[in-house]
């Protein structure tokens, strides 16, 4: 297994799905799986699966199927889940709470080391065993603990202002739930956006398409 230089984002975006699926069948006790079975379960073609894996130099021997544990562990390594990251969460409202309480950070190499909010009622309380601090403390915290990853669960304008402050402290990695378009302002950050409203609008499109198709077939 070897990382190649230019792997398309569409291949990369399928890796977490492989990883999730392999983790699941492994915990169900499955030891080996063929590319055909894997493809069927994931609704891809076997050739697609083989092509995806070839981007990383291929895994295992196709004839005998893949070792689930080996495949899972190699994808884990490609995904860089072993890389240790120090994360802070900005915004401890409903969305921040949902993210903090639902996400399995540790298996992805992420330590959540700080949570910040400007709501006086939240400051001093804890979330996932982490004390919520005032955003006024952000600079002091960053200087001391050097986080490198920030999870943005604040509104757009707050996100813009906070990123400016975080960028000054070399925070370059962002998991962004806000509508603030970070990449437009900073060319050297790595940002992964979760735009829930875009997903909902895509669903609306597909519903409307489905309604149209049904009405035509009637």
How many residues make contact with a copy of itself (CB under 8 A)? 57
**Segment interacting with a copy of itself, rule: CB under 8 A, options 53-61, 66-74, 108-116, 158-166:** 108-116
Subset of 29-58 contacting a copy of itself (CB under 8 A): 41, 43
CA 191 from chain centre, in angstroms, equals 10
CA distance 67 to 60: 7
Q: What six digits make up the tokens of 110? A: 């992420």
Binding of a copy of itself by 19 (CB under 8 A): yes
The smaller minimum CB distance to a copy of itself, of residues 31 and 204, is found at 204
| Count of CB atoms situated within 10 Å of the CB of 102 | 7
Subset of 154-213 contacting a copy of itself (CB under 8 A): 172-173, 175, 179, 183-184, 190, 192, 194-212
Least Cα distance to 86 among 143, 147, 142 occurs for: 147
Is 134 in contact with 118 (CB distance < 8 Å)?
A: yes
Between the alpha carbon of residue 140 and those of residues 28, 33, 136, 147, 211, the distances in Å are 46, 50, 9, 12, 55
Binding of a copy of itself by 16 (CB under 8 A): yes
The smaller minimum CB distance to a copy of itself, of residues 137 and 213, is found at 213
The smaller minimum CB distance to a copy of itself, of residues 25 and 62, is found at 25
CA distance 42 to 21: 8
- The dihedral through the CA atoms of 46, 11, 17, 1 has a sign that is positive
The smaller minimum CB distance to a copy of itself, of residues 140 and 211, is found at 211
Give the interface with a copy of itself as residue ranges (CB under 8 A). 3, 12-13, 15-17, 19-20, 41, 43, 78-81, 83, 85, 93-95, 97-99, 101-104, 108-110, 149, 172-173, 175, 179, 183-184, 190, 192, 194-212
């Amino acid at each position: 297994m070897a990382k190649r230089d230019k792997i398309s984002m569409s291949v990369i975006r399928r890796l977490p799905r492989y990883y999730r699926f392999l983790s699941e069948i492994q915990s169900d006790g499955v030891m080996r799986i063929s590319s055909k079975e894997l493809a069927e379960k994931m609704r891809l073609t076997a050739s697609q699966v083989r092509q995806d894996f070839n981007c990383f130099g291929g895994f295992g021997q196709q004839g005998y199927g893949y070792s689930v544990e080996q495949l899972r562990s190699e994808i884990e390594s490609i995904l860089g889940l072993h890389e240790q990251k120090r994360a802070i969460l900005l915004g401890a409202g409903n969305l921040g709470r949902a993210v903090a309480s639902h996400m399995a950070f540790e298996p992805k190499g992420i330590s959540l080391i700080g949570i910040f909010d400007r709501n006086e009622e939240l400051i001093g309380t804890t979330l996932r065993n982490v004390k919520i601090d005032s955003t006024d403390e952000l600079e002091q915290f960053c200087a001391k603990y050097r986080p490198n990853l920030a999870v943005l669960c604040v509104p757009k304008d707050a996100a813009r202002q906070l990123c400016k402050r975080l960028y000054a402290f070399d925070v370059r990695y962002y998991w962004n739930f806000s509508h603030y378009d970070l990449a437009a302002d900073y060319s050297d950050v790595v940002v992964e956006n979760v735009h829930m409203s875009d997903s909902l609008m895509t669903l609306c499109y597909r519903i409307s398409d489905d309604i149209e198709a049904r009405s035509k077939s009637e």
